[in-house]
Amino acid sequence: MKTTILPFFLCLVISTNLPAQANVQSLRTQKPVLHARHWLAITGKPLAATAGATLFQQGGNAVDAACAMIAATCTMFDVLSWGGETQALIYNPKTGEVVGINALGIAPTGATAQFYKSKGFKYPPATGPLAAVTPGTPGGILVMLAEFGTKSLREVLAPAMQMADGYPMDEDVHRQMKRYADDLKSWPYSKKVFFKGDQLPQPGELFSQPDLYVTLKKMVDTEAAALASGKSRKEAIMAAYDRFYTGDIADEFVRGTREQGGLITKEDLAKWKVLIEKPLSTNYKGIEVYKLREWQQGPVLLQALNMLENLDLKKMRYNSLQYIHTLYQVMNYAYADRDFYYGDPYVPPVEPIQGLLSKAYAAQRLKLIDTAKNDAMALPGDPYPFEGKTNPYLDLIERMKKPSSHRPSDLEEYMKNFYAGTTSVTAADAQGWVVSVVPSGGWMPACIAGNTGIGLSQRMQSFVLDASENPFNVVAPGQRPRVTLTPTLALKDGKPLLAFGVQGGDSQDQNLLQFFLNMTEFGMNVQQAVEAANINSYQMKSAFGDHEKIPGKILLHASTPDDIRQALIKKGYTLEFSARTSGPITAIYFDRLHGTMWGGASNHGDDYGVGW
């Protein structure tokens, strides 16, 4: 007899604010922990979490479910769309290894620093066709599915295709569309997709995307034809990949992009490939923490952990004055290195990542912390000696000792960019597959590429045009920009312990670092840890807009006691407060004692989980 599996959903429980010195293990949460035995699917929208649950109920593994959730979030414009980028960490229980998925697009032909400077740009633009790298998410989904999934592309894309045929518009996406209505109207294919006459789709109204539906159908039809001709499952999925990046889908994507002033060529699409990588890692007190390579900001968390493991954080106490100041300073130095040394490792110059992740280098950086005051001029360090090399960029760092000119002129725009959202996707199953994904790109205002229904990426803005800012991240054709997107996996004794991710631009690894410490140092459960009060620094350069920063500014929870507030002001901080400071984190904790999974989904926005 077949058993019907009924998912359970997140519900609301009583919430209390957490005072700085409270017993954190007694914290009540706004959402309950998701307890599951067989599988968990968590992401930024309830409908997308249901797409993941659907694949699990059909017998798929965590990779199948994750791919279905990415496809669904892209289709409903959950701060991303199909032309964006996908990056993932996957634990493969068959090999016991963690693998990285690099599905970040590249700068197109003609995208040089001189080109953008000639257009009057200080940085590549934040919106429109000139903001686009090549689309990475379709390739990322297809390669993940082909290499590590079990289901067909047709099965995995079925929820997204149903949504493209019409899904009820939610208030959050409607607000985004309304905010950027003028931009959307200025691009002909965006106007075609998002407007009926002069009206945007209203909350609750069915929003259909026939062009996108046709694009997705072409992909699944190509898979079906390949299977009918005797191709293997993997070959059939990659036939759909070829049609997207080299066939008629690519033709229309390029035509529509270039018609609107974009640079992407068909050769750019054809030469771009998804990379399966060996991720970076560090050991923090017996826990192996994995992040993707230095083409994204993830290694800052590893650098921070390398510094923090030398300190007694429990003795400091959660969110005490000493803890807040120490954490801020550690992030100062890790992010100063990120801002200068991180970039695409597949093009020269070569990033000094071994030195940056050296425990000895971390100990040296830790000595810089002044317990009395904030270091508003925290500069990149010199990791080269820890690789046995000489730093060729010391002159550039020396020039940085002058006062910064990167303070924001438009504070509202800066804050919007700093916390620029995306979504996160976290999935796990009883067979041991674990996936953490932070896809993004093609958010509102999305410029649609011709009649494909695909929103273009806006990731070019993460490049710089001047090597004095970051010699490893100067825009050039074929190069990947250094991005903020940063999934995380943690293993203990070779087995998964945690999978977690978050949206929120430059705040991502700040919040993920504190989530990890909330659990490992302060004994919170996974839901307490995703909701708990964090701090955020604005002292690093934003990866968006004009790459500005605000030295000394700190975001604190509204419940922070007055004595701590006054002491931080004396240390040179400028304070900002919010009732929610944790970032929209999604996470899974693996309970080895009981053989179960604990899921957490933030009390921000629409983050949602389904488990069984």
- pLDDT tens digits along 39-50: 999 999 999 999
What's residue 231's pLDDT?
98
How crowded is residue 150: how many other Cβ atoms within 10 Å of its Cβ?
17
Annotate 523-554 with b (16+ C-beta within 10 A) or e (fewer). ebbbbbbbbbbbbbbbbbbbbbbbbbbbbbbb
Please say if the pLDDT value at position 19 is more than 70.
Answer: no
Measured distance CA(607)–CA(48) in Å, rounded: 10
User: Pick from 317, 325, 326, 321: which is nearest to 24 by CA?
Assistant: 317
Residue with tokens 């991720």: 279
Hey, what are 38's tokens? 């067989």
Q: What are phi and psi for residue 91, nearest 5 degrees?
A: -90, 120
User: Pick from 329, 305, 323: which is nearest to 509 by CA?
Assistant: 305
Segment among 176-185, 406-415, 469-478, 518-527 with least mean pLDDT: 406-415
What's residue 408's pLDDT?
81
How crowded is residue 451: how many other Cβ atoms within 10 Å of its Cβ?
18
How crowded is residue 285: how many other Cβ atoms within 10 Å of its Cβ?
10
What's residue 26's pLDDT?
64
Which ranges of 482-548 would DSSP assign to H, the alpha helix? Answer: 508-520, 526-531
Mean pLDDT for the stretch of residues 224-250 = 98
Please say if the pLDDT value at position 21 is more than 90.
Answer: no
Task: List, as one string, the DSSP characters of 580-607.
Answer: --S--EEEEEEETTTTEEEEEE-SSTT-
pLDDT in tens, 565-589: 999 999 999 999 999 898 899 999 9
DSSP-derived letter for residue 435 is: E
Per-residue pLDDT band at 22 (split at 50, 70, 90): very low
pLDDT in tens, 171-216: 999 999 999 999 999 999 999 999 999 999 999 999 999 999 999 9
- In angstroms, the Cα distances linking 325 to 49, 166, 490, 537 are 37, 49, 26, 11
Per-residue pLDDT band at 293 (split at 50, 70, 90): very high
Measured distance CA(496)–CA(492) in Å, rounded: 6
What is the average pLDDT value for the chain, to the nearest integer?
Answer: 93
Task: Work out whether the CA dihedral 326, 329, 333, 335 comes out positive or negative.
Answer: positive
Please say if the pLDDT value at position 148 is more than 70.
Answer: yes
Mean pLDDT for the stretch of residues 385-414 = 86
Q: What is the CA radius of gyration of the chain?
A: 23
pLDDT in tens, 41-89: 999 999 999 999 999 999 999 999 999 999 999 999 988 999 999 999 9
Please say if the pLDDT value at position 466 is more than 80.
Answer: yes
What's residue 258's pLDDT?
98
Measured distance CA(414)–CA(289) in Å, rounded: 31
What's residue 133's pLDDT?
98
In the 3-class helix/strand/coil scheme, how is 344-390 assigned residue by residue? CCCCCCCCCHHHHCCHHHHHHHHCCCCCCCCCCCCCCCCCHHHHCCC
Q: Please state the pTM of the whole predicted model.
A: 0.94
Per-residue pLDDT band at 339 (split at 50, 70, 90): very high
Please say if the pLDDT value at position 25 is more than 80.
Answer: no
User: Pick from 270, 216, 253, 264: which is nearest to 449 by CA?
Assistant: 253
Measured distance CA(324)–CA(583) in Å, rounded: 17
DSSP-derived letter for residue 459 is: G
- In angstroms, the Cα distances linking 511 to 80, 205, 507 are 21, 35, 6
Residue with tokens 């894309």: 157
Hey, what are 78's tokens? 């959950």
Strand 574-578 to strand 553-557: parallel, antiparallel, or no bridges (unpaired)?
Answer: parallel
Per-residue pLDDT band at 5 (split at 50, 70, 90): very low
SS3 of residue 443 by DSSP: coil
Per-residue pLDDT band at 605 (split at 50, 70, 90): confident
Query: What CATH number labels 304-419+508-611?
Result: 1.10.246.130
